[in-house]
Structure 1
Amino acid sequence: MEFKEKPDSNATLVGKSQPYLGEKHQADGKPVANGKAEVYVKQETNGKHAVPGKSLNMYSWQEIQKHNQQTDQWLVINRKVHDVTSWAHRHPGGQQVLSHHAGEDATDAFRAMHLDLDVVRLYLKPLLIGELAPGEPSQERNKNSQLVEDFREMRRLLEAKNMFKANLGFYFLHLAQILILEALAWLLVWNFGSCWTVTILISFLLTISQAQSSFLQHDVGHLCVFKKSKWNHLMHKFVMCHLKGFSTNWWNYQHSQHHVKPNIYPKDPDINMGPLFVVGDLQPVKYGKKKMKYINYEKQHLYFYMILLPLLMPVYFNLQSMQAVYLRRYWVDMAWISSFYIRYFITFGPFYGIFGTVLLIYFVKLLESPWIAYVTQMSHIPMKMSLEENWDWFSTQVLTTCNVEQSFFNDWFTGHLNFQIEHHLFPTMPRHNYHKVAPLVRSLCAKHGLQYVKKPLLQAFGDIVRTLKKSGALWAKVYYE
């Protein structure tokens, strides 16, 4: 497969800015009558029916798309139709992820989000109820089948080049960096006491450690470090719960929804920032028409500095995590999170006391918060937000994310999330390989006329505020008219 790559520059759009181009298909099968699925029986080449016990029901897209409710969920994966309704609540990534794809082709999402495919297929097998009827396209008719095939061919090429294989040395050094920073903080307080100068230096070291732990847990949470999922899960508990004090299950359920439907209302929880902020074009209009004014959204770009930057980690994420642990009874996570606080009390308690240690923990999270807020918000808030339009996987990820220029500092500072497009296309790919696959992704975007947005780091930070200001002005226009 060959792609021609176009050169790009700062904040370049590689390829023409066009709306999503769907491709029309003609189905050779018969139309569905009375809203019921057509049922076909596989036949041998001699015209005889196959063994009745081994035949599969055949369904049209018209029928499949009707099963898109919370209580009635069908998924298509590799042309096979699965009824996941009764099993959805047991899905490790949360039942919402499945419901977001109900009535759709979920092949690329399924492939992107799972590491141990052989294990996952064991769960899928009893859920199989049929397959697409002869003549039905492999994807819904609104999708560009050539783009879908080009993307899958690119993925096969990357798999052949071992781009999904992690360099364990890379992650060992990353973990070593975190542990060394934690050890240095402890040595400082042990040798020099808890004076203000030492406390500030300790807070600085722990802030870097916490931020880098956020990026490391993000990798192991996506199952891209170890070959076996169980080791990723164990490492995720250690980094997210023990080193950071947050719930892995809470992160997994929230983040999985974000990945499969980024910037899609109301499926992506990351853009559900009301009532504090309204983002995109739809939320401001909705709030304006309903005369909803929890704050003055016209000034929300200023509240971003006062609310979101300092409070994202110590308040918002912390409360969400604790709420999920308590309400959903994540007792294992609770035990791991307890070890985070116990470690801090043992390490710093003799010098700061219990109350002082709690203040130290939240002061560090307060310092970490702007770092994480900028990195997590810069690639999505300024991008396209819409209601569900059921795009193909490639278009969904590319149009709702953007990249930040590569440099040694940018890679380290963002945990390689400056390659957000590549990360969203290939969530289980180790981060150290993103820059290697970026040229292929840019080329495929150029071929199909999709935007591939790349910016300088400071421009990406500024775009967050500019976008919030634009959304606030849109709200004010509708609200006061």
Structure 2
Amino acid sequence: MTVTETSRPGSGQRGSDYARLSRRIAQAGLLERRPGYYAARITLVAALFAGTWALFAALGDSWWQLAVAVLLAAAFGQVTLLAHDLAHGQIFRSRRTSRNAGLIVGNLAVGLSYGWWMDKHTRHHANPNHEDHDPDVSPDFLLWSERQAAASKGLPRFIGRYQAWLFFPLLTLEGVNLKVSSFRALRRPTLKNRAIEGALLGGHVLAYLGALLLVLPLPKALLFFAVHQACYGVYLGCTFAPNHKGMPVLTAEDELDFLRKQVLTSRNVRGGHLVTTALGGLNYQIEHHLFPSMPTANLRRARPIVRDHCASLGIDYVECGLLESWGQALRHLHEVGRPLRRVRT
């Protein structure tokens, strides 16, 4: 996909369109903290997380534990979404408090390096869907642009031919991939608080594997691990993929101001309160990218303001249902891999 000419800023409008929108959002009070909302959400997510582990301990050696593994994947997903909000400073004013809470929620609770993920996600927000600068569209395994497909070699080139079909199967590995990447990040001198991050990640692994082996015999423990991590990976993939995949992929030739860069590469997902809860509010992705520190509960209220502002400027504001968002992402992956299916090397 490419950026259309009608979506580019008009004469004299660069740098001012976002400022006008930001003033409207601030005047509506949508950047203010929502302590009550987050107190309730944290309580519910903590209850889900702790309650699922309690159910795991109570069931003992039972095949019903596979259902618990699925429920625990949902709990891990919701905890990860809380870590996302902490990283954006949506919950606490203090960066130190946000960081400390993020280390506990990310590293200790779900085994995800908070510092590594925060750095990666910050770079994504700065240049969403930019094939040179966004780590979320780097061609590690999947290919997101025709240019990446043409330059691909080895495993990415092989996977790229059938990546639309392999997308969901590959997501089953995402949970493990995030843990491996988290431990690899500990070797980077640029990662702050490496000792603390490493200790908390190690504590998570010991507690997690220890609980599985204490309650279940080894074969069932391995199966529980596989089901849990696979469902966790699919949940995260289905949460984050609808937001940008299948939207325009930017290159160095695309010169867009902040407003257009964020809106044109993002997609909102309709679906009501159920979808909002499942996706942690990230279904309002356009508003989130324009105002990353805005509390999740305010994104829905910001939507009509942002949509009307974009309409007045002739900027495409994309919304669709959840299934359609996945369909758009898969069709994009299929099209990117088309040249590779024609030429086999």
With the length of structure 1 as denominator, give the TM-score of the two structures: 0.65
CA distance in 1, matches of 2:75, 2:159: 36
CA gap 1:465/1:156 in 2 versus in 1, 3 angstroms: same
CA distance in 2, matches of 1:164, 1:355: 50
Q: Greater strand percent: which structure? A: 1
* Superposition deviation, residue 318 in structure 1: 1.9
1:44-66 CA deviation, whole Å, 9 max, x = no partner?
xxxxxxxxxxxxxxxxxxxxxxx
**Could you tell me which residue of structure 1 aligns to residue 203 of structure 2?**
339
Matches within 5 A, 1:30-179: 145-146=12-13, 148-179=15-46
CA distance in 2, matches of 1:157, 1:294: 46
**Could you tell me which residue of structure 2 aligns to residue 313 of structure 1?**
175
Matches within 5 A, 1:176-187: 176-187=43-54
CA distance in 2, matches of 1:319, 1:291: 21
**Could you tell me which residue of structure 2 aligns to residue 443 of structure 1?**
308
Amino acid aligned to 2:135: P
Task: Confirm whether residue 200 of structure 1 aligns to residue 66 of structure 2.
Answer: yes
* Superposition deviation, residue 168 in structure 1: 1.7
CA distance in 2, matches of 1:378, 1:190: 35
Q: Which moved more, 1:316-325 or 1:418-427?
A: 316-325
The answer to whether the 8 Å contact 1:18/1:450 transfers is no
* Superposition deviation, residue 392 in structure 1: 0.7
CA distance in 1, matches of 2:155, 2:68: 44
The answer to whether the 8 Å contact 1:182/1:205 transfers is no
1:251-282 CA deviation, whole Å, 9 max, x = no partner?
011111100001112101110133x2221232
Aligned counterpart for 1:454 among listed residues 319, 322, 332: 319
CA distance in 2, matches of 1:188, 1:317: 26
**Could you tell me which residue of structure 1 aligns to residue 151 of structure 2?**
286
**Could you tell me which residue of structure 1 aligns to residue 250 of structure 2?**
386
CA distance in 2, matches of 1:293, 1:337: 29
The aligned length equals 339
**Could you tell me which residue of structure 2 aligns to residue 270 of structure 1?**
136
Amino acid aligned to 1:150: D
CA distance in 2, matches of 1:352, 1:439: 51
CA gap 1:192/1:383 in 2 versus in 1, 3 angstroms: closer
1:374-398 CA deviation, whole Å, 9 max, x = no partner?
2211221200012123311101001
Amino acid aligned to 2:62: C
With the length of structure 2 as denominator, give the TM-score of the two structures: 0.89
The answer to whether the 8 Å contact 1:278/1:284 transfers is yes
Q: Percent same amino acid among aligned pairs? A: 24
1:24-59 CA deviation, whole Å, 9 max, x = no partner?
5xxxxxxxxxxxxxxxxxxxxxxxxxxxxxxxxxxx
Unaligned runs of 5+ in 1: 1-15, 25-144
* Structure number with bigger Rg: 1
Amino acid aligned to 1:321: S
Aligned counterpart for 1:352 among listed residues 206, 212, 216: 216
CA distance in 1, matches of 2:33, 2:18: 22
* Superposition deviation, residue 177 in structure 1: 2.1
**Could you tell me which residue of structure 2 aligns to residue 102 of structure 1?**
none
SS in 2 for 1:176: helix
Q: CA RMSD in A?
A: 2.6
CA distance in 2, matches of 1:291, 1:368: 28
Q: Greater helix percent: which structure? A: 2
SS in 2 for 1:386: coil
The answer to whether the 8 Å contact 2:124/2:136 transfers is yes
1:388-412 CA deviation, whole Å, 9 max, x = no partner?
2331110100111111014011101
Aligned counterpart for 1:244 among listed residues 110, 114, 124: 110
SS in 1 for 2:337: helix
The answer to whether the 8 Å contact 1:17/1:449 transfers is no
Which gives a bigger RCO, structure 1 or 2 (Cα 8 Å, sep 6+)? Answer: 2
**Could you tell me which residue of structure 2 aligns to residue 125 of structure 1?**
none
Unaligned runs of 5+ in 2: none
**Could you tell me which residue of structure 1 aligns to residue 126 of structure 2?**
260
1:404-447 CA deviation, whole Å, 9 max, x = no partner?
01401110111111111111111111111111111111112112
